[in-house]
Amino acid sequence: MANQIEEGAQGMNAHTAQLFVVFLAFVLTWAAEIPKLAGAVPTLEQAVSHAGALDVAQIDAFIGQQVRRHGIPGLALGVVQGDRVVHLSGFGKADESGRALTPQTPFILASVSKPLTAMAVMQLVETGAVELDAPVQRYVPDFRLADPTASAQITVRHLLLHTSGIPSTECDTRREAETLEQYVAELRTVTPVAQPGVRHVYCSGNYNVLGRVIELVSGQPFAAYVKQRVFAPLQMGNSFASEEEARRAGLAQNYRWLFGALVPYHERYNTSQLPSGYLISSAEDLSHFLVAQLNGGRYGATSILSAESVAAMQGRGVATGPGAGAGAYGLGLVSAPIGGVPVLQHGGVHADVRTLVFLEPETGRGAVLLMNSFSFLASVGAFKEVEEGVVRLVAGQEPAAPSSVSLPALYVIVDAVLGALLVLSLWPLLRMRRWHARLRRDATSGRIGRMQLLRLGLRLAWELAVPIALLAGARLALHAAGAQSWAEGFAVFPDLGAWLWVVSLLLLVTGALRLALSVRTLRGVRTPD
């Protein structure tokens, strides 16, 4: 999302121009990848019904090789087929002690929490306590946005589908609330980005409001309801809605990469966003959820949902973007392909974890992938390669050929480029004394003409404007992605964010110092005609 600039000689700062070109190249390259990621792909209805044999040994071998090649600290896997969990495995470490990561290791689920919350809502729909097309205010009278008319029209279904109009730029990462009641109260100042039901706008706030619906309708805290009505019947013994309880059960230590170095990281456990991103579970437990999804709401002898409710959850829902190849968001599950294989799925990302559940209704298979680490480069490279490969193997297909660059090698390349650009941005500051001496000589000898002053003015404008434009552009990009502050942006891009600020400040200091020296040197010097 953010890269940068540098400078040089003769009027415009050539090194600054080089950095700016690199920044634009990065953005354009990233943009060029978007059609590849979201282009036309088969729909679920076009899925191949004749899947190859399921080879769990091949899946383990593939994951083990990818974990070693990319340096992924830990990964837990669960594979289901029909009404059974057919395979569980763990790779790497769960924490700094070297404790082995297992299929029973609890993970903070990020947005994989949402399908579990949707299942809880559908239970209440089945009992008649909640109607999907009833206004949310029937169940949560205090719920409202800045637009009272739109607030009254938002239904439970709108929240499930992310079509309420609540914008991702305003509600995803609210920091003050500690309870769902407080979270809902904070939404009063949020202006809807669209009228209810008009278009899909993914926003975790929708599911936090659903959590409040569950609380008021059931008469018990969301955490207690999920524990009793979802975790217990699905025999999810390593699943929690409390970080403290999960730690006692061996909660995975999460990590993130900083310029390629893997460091432990702990993101704030946000109790006001339990329904959307902070439920905790293991690969084995989530496999039970997938079995229920593949078997009409049944796990073993227990029926947690009716077949009709499960079918409703798995319905295609609303398009997540324009074009025939766009995915669709249903009642807690997404119809979107992975690795060219049509699946129902939901992924999750925090600043230190990557999670995924998927199922293939046509083949009766599915899997859970939980990774206790995150970085932007890993997300678009290594993690994508792992996830697509596992999806294809579960479907009985061969994974795509691995990329030629491992994550550690990619970081070496990126770090070398960023380091070179940092040196280039520092170079003009180091040469400032020589430049100032030349300016004084020219001013003393009367060789400063209007063209020289014009070039100097353009150079100063360039040095001061470019870093300001870069920081402003990066902030706008973060806002568009849902971050409400630089702090939240740094949580996702800690290394690139720090680099961007250091380089921008270097350029600003260079420009400001050049301006001060120019004014002091040229004061009193008459510009010749």
pLDDT tens across the length of the chain (529 residues): 332 222 222 233 333 333 333 343 443 344 333 333 333 333 333 333 446 789 999 999 999 999 999 999 999 999 999 999 999 999 999 999 999 999 999 999 999 999 999 999 999 999 999 999 999 999 999 999 999 999 999 999 999 999 999 998 776 545 678 999 999 999 999 999 999 999 999 999 999 999 999 999 999 999 999 999 999 999 999 999 999 999 999 999 999 999 999 999 998 899 999 999 999 999 999 999 999 999 999 999 999 999 999 999 999 899 988 776 679 999 999 999 999 999 999 999 999 999 999 999 889 999 999 999 999 899 989 999 999 999 999 999 999 988 879 999 999 999 999 999 999 999 999 999 999 998 888 888 877 888 888 888 898 988 899 899 989 988 888 777 667 677 777 777 889 989 999 999 999 999 999 999 999 888 855 544 4
> What is the spatial distance between Cα 173 and Cα 162, in angstroms, rounded to a whole number?
16
> What is the spatial distance between Cα 124 and Cα 57, in angstroms, rounded to a whole number?
40
Distances (CA, A) of 319 to 18, 56, 198, 200, 275: 40, 33, 11, 7, 23
Q: Are 113 and 207 in contact (CB under 8 A)?
A: yes
Burial of 513 (0-12, 13-18, 19+ CB in 10 A): middle
Q: How wide is the angle at C-alpha 473 spanned by C-alphas 501 and 428, nearest 5°?
A: 45
> What is the spatial distance between Cα 113 and Cα 344, in angstroms, rounded to a whole number?
15
Cα-trace Rg, the chain: 27
The pLDDT assigned to 490 comes to: 76
Q: For residue 468, give both structure tokens.
A: 């300001």
Distances (CA, A) of 95 to 21, 169, 295, 379, 383: 41, 33, 35, 21, 19
The pLDDT assigned to 264 comes to: 96
Q: Return all residues near 262 (Cβ < 8 A) that are at least 6 apart.
A: 71, 73, 255, 256, 373
Q: Is 472 helix (H, G, I), strand (E, B) or coil?
A: helix
Which among 505, 504, 518 has a CA at the least distance from the CA of 459? Answer: 518
Instruction: Give the torsion through C-alpha atoms of 480, 481, 484, 488, to 10 deg.
Output: -150
> What is the spatial distance between Cα 86 and Cα 308, in angstroms, rounded to a whole number?
26
The pLDDT assigned to 25 comes to: 41
Instruction: Enumerate helices (H) and strands (E) in the chain, giving the number of each.
Output: 19, 15
Q: Are 494 and 258 in contact (CB under 8 A)?
A: yes
The pLDDT assigned to 130 comes to: 98
Distances (CA, A) of 218 to 127, 205, 235, 327, 509: 11, 20, 21, 33, 59
Write the DSSP symbol of residue 71.
T
Q: How wide is the angle at C-alpha 354 spanned by C-alphas 353 and 357, nearest 5°?
A: 135
3-state secondary structure string across 271-323:
HHHHHHHHCEECHHHHHHHHHHHHCCCEECCEECCCHHHHHHHCCCCEECCCC
Write the DSSP symbol of residue 8.
-
10: alpha, beta or left, given left = phi > 0 and alpha = psi -120 to 50?
A: left
